[in-house]
Structure 1
Amino acid sequence: MSAAELFPRDRATPAPGAVHVPDWLSADEQRRLLDACRTWARPPAGLRTVRTPGGGEMTARQVCLGRHWYPYGYADHAVDGDGAPVKPMPRWLAETADRAVAAAYGDAAPGADPSAPLAYDIALINFYGGDARMGMHRDSDEESDAPVVSLSLGDTCVFRLGNVDGRSRPWTDLELRSGDLFVFGGPSRLAYHGVPRVHPGTAPTELGLEGRLNITLRVSGLPGTGRPEA
């Protein structure tokens, strides 16, 4: 909550299975996650520009953990980067995903298997600088229907949650700030979504980040994906 706000922001459910929990990460948790992202962004298999099959480039740059995502699949190596093996998914980050799902749904998490703890084995980390944005898309390259966990650091963005039928309306625009949690599963698991706008200069000054980081945590359901490291 900013100093200008009298009341804290309320959690919201903009669509079935989609939950927004404001200010979920503490200031210390945000700093720890930012420090880790800076380490992961370094080569090898570090932050890179993603190129689409049509020859375009995503304006948000990306680094992956657990499995390397590229349009439109997963690999063990940075096949569209420097070719190095992907960095492992840390156990503490998988545990963060488990806590996030519990915070969003309690005991009623759609697609979750309570007998399989630490199932979150992939992280996609997108860095938005300047005028970067993300077009409407859906996360459909995984074999699992477990909820997607999204954590925000840095600048505030407009997050657009659409529908499962296509990129056009109806959609809902939400404001995601540093420390916010957004989880989407169940009927919203394959909803189209994007980031049409980032508000530069809105990051908490004490965080020391210019731009926005989005950490997206997923369950791959793919064979051969390693367990999170200790």
Structure 2
Amino acid sequence: MNDLIDTALADEGSRETLAEGAMILRGRARSQAPALLAAVAAIAAEAPFRRMMTPGGLTMSVAMTNCGAQGWVTDRHGYRYTPVDPQTGRPWPALPEALRRLAVEAAAEAGFPGFSPDVCLINRYEPGSKLSLHQDRDEPDRSAPIVSVSLGLPAVFLFGGLTRDAPKTRTRLAHGDIVVWGGPSRLAYHAVQTIKPGSHPATADQRINLTFRKAGPP
């Protein structure tokens, strides 16, 4: 595993390549963060954050909700997308235009023009929570990239290869950073290490992550 990439002095607007087809846009969402967080609050008022259960019966440490045409869920029946929030019995909130536009623009800047996201998974991390190493493979259209927006507390992001044991890069993601990966890196394994205690002016003791995908048919 490579050493942690120090981003403390990274300039807003700078770009870093993680792998072929994978790029970090430093600070790209920082100026839009207040509007993004207001949208997240409105979404959570309709579809509250919840800690879902994995197919193996474990409760995830990260709280989740969704917006868009479908929402990603996990329970004893497996990982999948569903058009209805199983907690409320209602459709997921619509994907706000400001969020969709940011994802489209970020994807284009990273080399993936024409991205048309139809879902956004929203993760809420608190100190002690993490996301284990995994691939995003529940989407039928894997020609579309993943766009991931970090808000609030920093996190250490692990980005690997197409096998679980491939070498991994560790990089610190700060408030407003966007990671985009697709093409040869679309199925790369990735993870978020345990969030350390802290406070951020925008989110207090939380990290909010927006992950945009295309979950509908190609």
- Using the size of structure 1 for normalisation, the TM-score is 0.82
Cα distance, 1:208 vs structure 2: 4.4
Aligned to 2:118: 121
Alignment of 1:1-230 (within 5 A): 8=11, 10-27=14-31, 29-43=32-46, 45-66=47-68, 67-71=70-74, 72-79=79-86, 81-105=87-111, 109=112, 114=114, 119-145=116-142, 146-166=144-164, 168-201=165-198, 203=200, 205=201, 207-222=202-217
One-letter code of the match for 1:32?
A
One-letter code of the match for 1:48?
R
One-letter code of the match for 1:175?
R
Tell me, yes or no, if the aligned pair for 1:136 and 1:193 is still in contact at 8 Å. yes
CA distance in 2 between counterparts of 1:6 and 1:164 reads 30
SS in 1 for 2:59: coil
SS in 1 for 2:195: strand
Structure 1: runs of 5+ lacking an equivalent: 224-230
One-letter code of the match for 2:72?
W
Distance 1:69 1:7, change over 3 A: closer
Distance 1:95 1:188, change over 3 A: same
Aligned to 2:4: none
CA distance in 1 between counterparts of 2:157 and 2:170 reads 6
Distance 1:6 1:188, change over 3 A: closer
Distance 1:188 1:6, change over 3 A: closer
CA distance in 1 between counterparts of 2:96 and 2:203 reads 23
Cα distance, 1:121 vs structure 2: 0.7
SS in 2 for 1:78: coil
Structure 2: runs of 5+ lacking an equivalent: 1-7
SS in 2 for 1:163: coil
CA distance in 2 between counterparts of 1:20 and 1:84 reads 35
Distance 1:23 1:52, change over 3 A: same
Structure 1 residues 156-197: Cα deviation after superposition (integer angstroms, max 9, x where no partner): 00000111122x341111110000010000111111111012
One-letter code of the match for 2:65?
V
CA distance in 2 between counterparts of 1:6 and 1:15 reads 21
Tell me, yes or no, if the aligned pair for 2:158 and 2:190 is still in contact at 8 Å. yes
Runs of 4+ in 1 over 3 A off after TM superposition: none
Over aligned residue pairs, what C-alpha RMSD do you find? 1.9
SS in 2 for 1:190: coil
CA distance in 1 between counterparts of 2:139 and 2:151 reads 24
CA distance in 1 between counterparts of 2:10 and 2:168 reads 26
One-letter code of the match for 2:39?
A
Q: How many residues are treated as equivalent by the alignment?
A: 204
SS in 1 for 2:122: strand
One-letter code of the match for 1:76?
P
Identical residues among aligned pairs (%): 35
